[in-house]
Amino acid sequence: MEGVTAPGPGNGADEQISFPAAARLELDELLEQLVDRARDVQQTQSRLRGLLNAYREVTRDGRPGKRLTADHGGRT
């Protein structure tokens, strides 16, 4: 099984770290999971921002019968 090399943490350009193919595959999978979770966090943050804006809109006016309209930011 072939591995992959990457520059090492030292100052020498000729210093290399070798990653076996299985370890690289696992690292790739973990990085993909991290990116997916970061996207989930961003989406949640966007939804929370929308809820906060709605809350501010309702509390700013103070009238109990005010009707809000949905703003999906161009999404359906």
Three-state DSSP at 23 gives helix
CA distance 76 to 69: 14
Mean pLDDT of all residues in 21-41: 93
Q: Which of 35-44, 48-57, 65-74 has the highest mean pLDDT?
A: 35-44
> In the chain, where are the structural domains located?
22-60
Tell me if 21 sits within 8 A of 13, measured CB to CB: no
- Name the residue type at position 72: H
User: What's the pLDDT band for 1 if we cut at 50, 70, 90?
Assistant: very low
